[in-house]
Structure 1
Amino acid sequence: MRKILVIGGSRYFGKTLVTRVRDAGHEVTVLNRGSSAAPTGVGRLVADRDDEDGLRAVLGSRDFDVVVDQVCYTPLQAAVARRVFAGRTGRYVMTSTMEVYDPATLPGPPAGGPVPVTEAALDPVRIPPAPQVRGLGPAHAYAEGKRRAEAVFLREPAFPFVSVRTAHVLGGGQEDFTGRLAHYAERIAAGAPVDVHEAPYATSFIHHEEIAELLHWAAGQRFTGPLNAASHGALDVTALCEAVGARLGRRPRYRVVGEGAAASPFSFDRAYAMDNSRAAALGFGFGRVADWLPGAIAEAAAG
């Protein structure tokens, strides 16, 4: 049995992760701002992770075998966590994102291309240090914040560190607060056109239960560094829409947007898929998007 702390863990696949860890027989504690109660059999600590003194006070003398950080979005949050958990944990797993590879926001030469990107496409340590992310739109700030947060943990390691760069998470029906798959189900069911690029690129996806299982698995391993997390089988937006249409018995309609214009979620005018071979080689068995997507679409349509 291991002592595992989950920072966040109050919604979507974080909730699934917490119950999986508990049901596996580990001593699990969640730390968040108290917006929701912890599941039965799970400890709970209430703190604002941005308040370093308050976080230290709440933790007291506690230590953990593993910390799984679900809600680290900025380098400032990473710096606080690095200082507070140094000497308190034997392993730190941060939930990152495939957005760190976004060639539209990544400094320097574009990462990726027609071939899915490997973890080596981005070395956050080479990004110049910056205490904050300012002057960027929400999507760019999210990607830049995650990149710089990874860099804080990696630049001066205080504990063995893993960054799980997760693909777009789907499934879970109403639990999916992003509403992205529901967007397609609603528009296609209503016969409304979906805005797409003229030649959209494929992107990577993962089921909400699969990413929870991967985080649970990663907590018990010994490898370090970045790890791509994606189900087998990248899809472009039209393939996704065709799958939605097939499930709903409706034929999708499309509206092509001009260059530089906003399109629907998951329509990309640049390479946007990840290579998952490192995780597979380390022993994690990914599922296939084609196998779980119909069920995820049904959940989104029913929600």
Structure 2
Amino acid sequence: MKRILVIGGSRYFGKSLVTGAREAGDEVTVLNRGSGAPPPGVGRLVADRDDEAALRTALGPRDFDVVVDQVCYTPLQAAVARRVFAGRTGRYVMTSTMEVYDPATLPVPAVPAGPVPVAEASLDPARLPFAGATGRPPEDWPAYVYAEGKRQAEAVFLRDPVFPYVGVRAAHVLGGGPAEFTGRLAHYVERIAAGTAVDVHEAPYATSFIHHQEMAAFLYWTTDQTFTGPVNAASHGAPDVIALCEAVAAQVGRDPSYRVVGEGAAASPFSFDRAYAMDNGRASALGFDFGRVADWLPGAIAETAHETARAAG
């Protein structure tokens, strides 16, 4: 039995992680700002993670075998966690994102044009321009975007580590019907079912995906491992947006239509004009058995189509 603290964990695959760990017999505690009660049999702490004093008060004398941080978005949050959990945990797992590799959001050309798929060693956040131990951006740093916040948060944990740290770089997570709160898969289901054109790039690149249940299983798996550092989490197979549309069309019974957008213009989700699909070889070599996108995607689309039809009345 492990003592696991999940920071966040009140929705989507975080909720599945919490439930799965409890069912496996672990002692699970959730820490959030009071946004949602955990399932029965799971402990709860309420604190704003950005408030270091409040976080210390909520934790009291507690320590944990593993902390899984689902909601670390900035280097400031990482710096607080690094100070607070030093000496309190034997392992720290941060949920990061494949967006850290996105060449369009990098402040410097840190990711080479090849090879693709992208392996973990292609990006070392600790080598990027960084604000220092406090995690505060320099005066001329642009406003944080999601990808940059995650890169800088990773860098805080990787520089002078105070506990064994893992950064899980998650592929685009799909599945779960109404639980998939981003609405990205619903975008395709609704447009193709209605005969509305999907906005795509002229030559869209492949991207990486993972099923929400597989993502929860992967995070739980990391709590039992000893490896450290960044690790990519992605199902086998990397379809491009056209293949995704064809899979949706097979479920909704209507052929997709497309509108090609110009260079630099916004397109539909998962249409990319640059390559950064991920290589999942490290995790596979360490022993995690990923599924295939082609096997679970039809079911995820069917869930979304059912929910879309239900919501429409």
1:298 aligns with 2:302: yes
What does residue 72 of structure 1 align with?
Answer: 72
| Counterparts of 1:299 and 1:62, CA distance in 2 | 40
| Counterparts of 2:34 and 2:249, CA distance in 1 | 40
| 1:201 to partner: Cα distance | 0.2
Identity of matched residues, %: 78
- Given candidates 267, 271, 284, the residue that maps to 1:267 is 271
| Counterparts of 2:142 and 2:125, CA distance in 1 | 20
| Counterparts of 1:124 and 1:219, CA distance in 2 | 22
- Given candidates 171, 189, 195, the residue that maps to 2:199 is 195
What does residue 20 of structure 2 align with?
Answer: 20
What does residue 53 of structure 2 align with?
Answer: 53
Root-mean-square deviation (Å): 1.1
What does residue 123 of structure 1 align with?
Answer: 124
- Given candidates 219, 225, 239, the residue that maps to 2:223 is 219
What does residue 311 of structure 2 align with?
Answer: none
Q: What code does the residue aligned with 1:135 have?
A: P
1:156 aligns with 2:155: no
| Counterparts of 2:37 and 2:260, CA distance in 1 | 45
Q: Which runs of 5+ in 1 are unaligned?
A: none
What does residue 31 of structure 1 align with?
Answer: 31
Q: Is the 8 A contact 1:7 1:67 kept in 2?
A: yes
| 1:198 to partner: Cα distance | 0.2
1:165 aligns with 2:166: no
Q: What code does the residue aligned with 1:42 have?
A: V
Q: Is the 8 A contact 1:114 1:271 kept in 2?
A: no
| Counterparts of 2:64 and 2:104, CA distance in 1 | 38
What does residue 95 of structure 2 align with?
Answer: 95
| Counterparts of 1:115 and 1:135, CA distance in 2 | 28
| Counterparts of 1:14 and 1:302, CA distance in 2 | 23
| 1:105 to partner: Cα distance | 1.3
Q: Is the 8 A contact 1:8 1:14 kept in 2?
A: yes
| Counterparts of 1:135 and 1:96, CA distance in 2 | 20
| 1:114 to partner: Cα distance | 5.9
Q: Is the 8 A contact 2:232 2:279 kept in 1?
A: yes
Q: What code does the residue aligned with 2:142 have?
A: G
What does residue 205 of structure 1 align with?
Answer: 209
Q: Which stretches of structure 1, 4 residues or longer, exceed 6 Å deviation after superposition?
A: none
Q: TM-score, normalised by structure 1?
A: 0.97
What does residue 247 of structure 2 align with?
Answer: 243
What does residue 42 of structure 2 align with?
Answer: 42
Q: How many residues align?
A: 300
| 1:132 to partner: Cα distance | 4.2
| Counterparts of 1:73 and 1:132, CA distance in 2 | 13
Per-residue CA distance 1:141-192 (angstroms, 9 max, x = gap):
1000000000000101010000000000000000011000000000000000
| Counterparts of 2:115 and 2:148, CA distance in 1 | 22
Q: TM-score, normalised by structure 2?
A: 0.94
| Counterparts of 2:3 and 2:230, CA distance in 1 | 23
| Counterparts of 2:229 and 2:161, CA distance in 1 | 11
Per-residue CA distance 1:123-155 (angstroms, 9 max, x = gap):
01112222346534xxx7100000000000010
Q: Is the 8 A contact 2:32 2:45 kept in 1?
A: yes
Q: Which runs of 5+ in 2 are unaligned?
A: 308-313
What does residue 310 of structure 2 align with?
Answer: none
| 1:109 to partner: Cα distance | 2.3
Q: Is the 8 A contact 1:113 1:270 kept in 2?
A: no
| Counterparts of 1:162 and 1:61, CA distance in 2 | 24
- Given candidates 138, 142, 152, the residue that maps to 1:135 is 142
| Counterparts of 1:264 and 1:62, CA distance in 2 | 45
